[in-house]
Amino acid sequence: MRLTSISLCLVALMLPVAGSAQSGAVARADLKMADGKAVAEATLRETPNGVLVKIVVHDLAAGPHAFHIHTAGKCDAPDFATAGGHFAPGGTHHGLLTQTPPHAGDLPNMFVGADGKASVELLAAVTLGPGERSLFDADGSALVLHAGADDYMTDPAGNAGGRIACGVITR
């Protein structure tokens, strides 16, 4: 059997999200490479337990890719450094495998199939409403895909390699 596409469902760290917006609020992000080529679409939906993030990628290199929420709603090519660091209210450290709570923007790796496609759904401990964990603070937020896998431990970004695609989260 040849695997051509991977679809999985993961649950990120689930922490109470103070200031959650009304269930059902929706946002989106269109992720593009430095050359402007679109490679992913993400939808974000508020739930009573955090934000359900669904991302569908295409035309991406096969293998694992880190996928994070970043602190600023800017995606200037070529390196997307304007997206800032990982979304980390409360000054937490990076890493889903560390002994301390991770960044709210730390998400599980995405595994892209040989056909360049993947679909992932996960629950993030953030909100689309007001509060410390809001993705819509003064400078917004972005979703970023990295060239390699997140090791889930190395601070500040999981040793995940360069930023290869970025999308500003919009209502």
pLDDT digits (tens, 9 = 90+) for 42-101: 999 999 999 999 999 999 999 999 999 999 999 999 999 999 998 988 888 777 878 877
pLDDT digits (tens, 9 = 90+) for 3-38: 344 334 333 444 444 444 456 799 999 999 999 999
Cα 86 from Cα 153, distance rounded (Å): 13
Model confidence, pTM: 0.85
Cα 95 from Cα 2, distance rounded (Å): 32
Q: Is residue 1 part of a domain?
A: no
Q: Is residue 74 part of a domain?
A: yes
Number of domain units in the chain: 1
Q: Is residue 28 part of a domain?
A: yes
Q: What is the CATH number of the domain that holds 64?
A: 2.60.40.200
**Residues with Cβ < 8 Å from 138, sequence gap 6 or more?**
none
Q: Is residue 64 part of a domain?
A: yes
Q: Is residue 19 part of a domain?
A: no
